[in-house]
Amino acid sequence: MATAAHTLQPLSQLSAAVSEWVNSVRELTQPRAVRWCEGTDAEARELTALLLSRGELTALNPEFFPGCHLYRSAPNDVARVEHLTYICTRSQEDAGPNNHWMDPQQAHARMRELFRGCMRERTLYVIPYCMGPLDSPLSRCGVEITDSPYVVLNMLIMTRAGRAALERIAIERTFVRGLHSIGELDPERRFIMHFPEELAIESYGSGYGGNALLGKKCHALRIASWQARKESWLAEHMLIVGLQSPRGETHYLACAFPSACGKTNLAMLIPPASLPGWRVFTVGDDIAWLHPGADGRLWAINPEAGYFGVVPGTNPQTNRNAYEMIRRDTLFTNVALTADSQPWWEGLPSGVPVLDWQGRPYDPARGPAAHPNSRFTVSARRNPSYSPHAEDARGVPISALVFGGRRREVAPLVYEARDWQHGVLVGASLASETTAAAVGQVGVTRRDPMAMQPFCGYNFGDYWQHWLDVGARLARPPPIYHVNWFRRDANGKFLWPGYGENLRVLTWMIERCAGRVGAAESAIGRLPRPEDLNLRGLDLEPQALGALLAVDPALWRKEIVELREYLGRYGKHLPAALLAELGITEQRLG
Ligand code: GTP
Ligand code: SPV
Ligand code: MN
């Protein structure tokens, strides 16, 4: 009697193109063994057991954290490395001033020498994956080759990985080739190279998230943004969230905030008790692929299947959904441990760390117990607010787009762009304080247009033009907003409570879409008047609202001067329409 198992073809025989590539990589890297990933639970269990036996994973307290594990990375491999990340296009101009660039021939030669023989004594894993629902025409596939079982475990959670993805690749005959090796984990021998013209990624020397889980930032943003421009869609660093009003209408918002600026939290927000009847549904927490639909609206899918989220700050008060979600079947990276093997991080209301993220006895003099960029990896299906439409093949229709940064001053709590063209300028002018998500100084304000500074796979000038072109084609372009949850008072305290209370700002947007609430014109766009925001039950300092909604003309004039200088760097690639919008704002500021 033939069982399903008998009829399954070996993965290595499904796609000749994939097999040829795997063979060539095997010759180059010389692994001890080759393992094709099926994407089954049994496989994940086996990899987990392997890492436990090698001492690379620690099982967490099964009573409180069943199915959870801790992974400690190399101490010098804890964040994205933007200074070692390259876009390798034939013409440097195509990569633009926003990217580090290397000639593709030179980059390949350099990487070939790093990869040569690098997998000796290691197993080479082949991970076919699909970004987006397996049955969606909007999804795109790739194959990652890696020598890190930790990377495989993450990819199995973060993507639809395994046989079904390879079956799709065999039919489509196109896929992104991502070659990864942890190498020696030496920051001096570390590169993340992208070849958008060849749909290829080569990453060496890091096992960390955005450097190593190639389906995520490397494919779904840097390569996909290039493909999206060619194919008239947008690949963006955006969460997708559905908000159901007490009337029962659901609106989807897509919001771009830079790394560690609140996407995961907003995507799974818990409505405050004083806003009864609102419900929140998560579609995605980091990446959105936006396609113009036949109905003239933008439709969005989340290419990912899991969350690779910031751990510190997660607690029952800030985000009970996230807190509950990561208590089961979660892979923690670089958190601290309590005496009874529970994970611990800064921001938890209880518990005592005894080992820090490096496994050393915790000593506050050496800094925080959990690394500020410690992360959880967990399946989206574990999210209590996971949207029933998150897997819809056609995506969800977008009612509004939101840009936001982390800024102690200048940017008000919220404002609405005058129209799409002005909204593109608002996105292009996004600025934010740097965070621990990337190696480098933290807290420095930098330009991060559309929250894509580290992720746009081509020249920002051309990217802004592409945004303008997409908008011009939409019969019903969504309104565009800017938010800032991080404005501070003179003592450095956040003026806005944030987290669940952010819903008050989102409901204003939704009511604006329905034409049910007002706004006041300002030089930079439309702001809510205090009476336009639902602040019922919110405990806000009396002067805070005024400060949150203030637009200081002197600061903004300075902002415009800096912005003009910044945009000027894009020379002939900068769309004239953005300069025209800048001129309008400048004129209104007087
Ligand atoms: P990436 O995964 O790096 O792209 O980050 P993200 O944009 O998803 O950020 P996330 O939601 O993980 O939040 C990052 C940090 O900001 C966490 O420590 C949160 O606790 C904190 N945070 C999130 N939302 C708010 C907010 O509304 N107000 C304040 N003050 N902090 C917030
Ligand atoms: C970010 O840095 O924006 C992240 C984490 O979402 S990583 O996967 O490392 O890019
Ligand atoms: Mn991100």
* pLDDT tens digit sequence for 345-360: 999 999 999 999 999 9
pLDDT confidence tier of residue 542, bands split at 50, 70 and 90: confident
Report the nearest-CA residue for atom 15 of ligand 1. Answer: 260
- Per-residue pLDDT, averaged over 108-126, amounts to 98
Beta-strand relationship, 306-310 and 375-379 = antiparallel
For residue 213, report the distance from its CA to the centre of ligand 2, in Å. 10
For residue 553, report the distance from its CA to the centre of ligand 2, in Å. 34
For residue 265, report the distance from its CA to the centre of ligand 1, in Å. 6
Say how far apart CA 346 and CA 353 lie, in whole Å. 10
Looking at residue 1, its pLDDT comes to 44
Looking at residue 72, its pLDDT comes to 98
259 lines ligand 2 (CB under 6 A): yes
Beta-strand relationship, 298-301 and 288-292 = antiparallel
* pLDDT tens digit sequence for 449-503: 999 999 999 999 999 999 999 999 999 999 999 999 999 999 999 999 999 999 9
pLDDT confidence tier of residue 541, bands split at 50, 70 and 90: confident
For residue 308, report the distance from its CA to the centre of ligand 2, in Å. 7
- Per-residue pLDDT, averaged over 382-403, amounts to 98
Ligand 2: residue of 194, 259, 311, 377 to mutate (most ligand atoms within 8 A of CB) is: 259
pLDDT confidence tier of residue 5, bands split at 50, 70 and 90: low
310 lines ligand 1 (CB under 6 A): yes
- Cα 61–Cα 66–Cα 71 angle in degrees, nearest 5: 65
* pLDDT tens digit sequence for 192-230: 999 999 999 999 999 999 999 999 999 999 999 999 999
pTM of the model: 0.98
497 lines ligand 1 (CB under 6 A): no
Beta-strand relationship, 288-292 and 234-236 = antiparallel
277 lines ligand 1 (CB under 6 A): no
For residue 213, report the distance from its CA to the centre of ligand 1, in Å. 21
202 lines ligand 1 (CB under 6 A): no
- Per-residue pLDDT, averaged over 509-527, amounts to 96
Ligand 1: residue of 211, 213, 269, 310 to mutate (most ligand atoms within 8 A of CB) is: 310
Work out which ligand 2 atom sits closest to the CA atom of 216.
Answer: 8
What is the H or E stretch that residue 276 is in? none
Q: Catalytic positions, please?
A: 261
Give how far Cα 180 sits from Cα of 21, 31, 101, 211, 232, Å.
13, 13, 19, 9, 29
- Per-residue pLDDT, averaged over 114-134, amounts to 98
Looking at residue 526, its pLDDT comes to 98
For residue 260, report the distance from its CA to the centre of ligand 3, in Å. 7
Ligand 1: residue of 82, 211, 265, 502 to mutate (most ligand atoms within 8 A of CB) is: 265
Whether residue 300 is predicted with pLDDT greater than 80 in this model: the reply is: yes
DSSP 85-124: EEE--SSHHHH-TTSEE--HHHHHHHHHHHHTTTTTTSEE
Whether residue 266 is predicted with pLDDT greater than 50 in this model: the reply is: yes
Work out which ligand 1 atom sits closest to the CA atom of 486.
Answer: 30
Q: Residue 144 in 3-state DSSP?
A: strand
Work out which ligand 1 atom sits closest to the CA atom of 502.
Answer: 27
CB 218 within 8 A of CB 201: yes
DSSP 205: S
- Per-residue pLDDT, averaged over 77-91, amounts to 98
DSSP 426: H
Say how far apart CA 273 and CA 83 lie, in whole Å. 44
258 lines ligand 2 (CB under 6 A): no
Work out which ligand 2 atom sits closest to the CA atom of 310.
Answer: 5
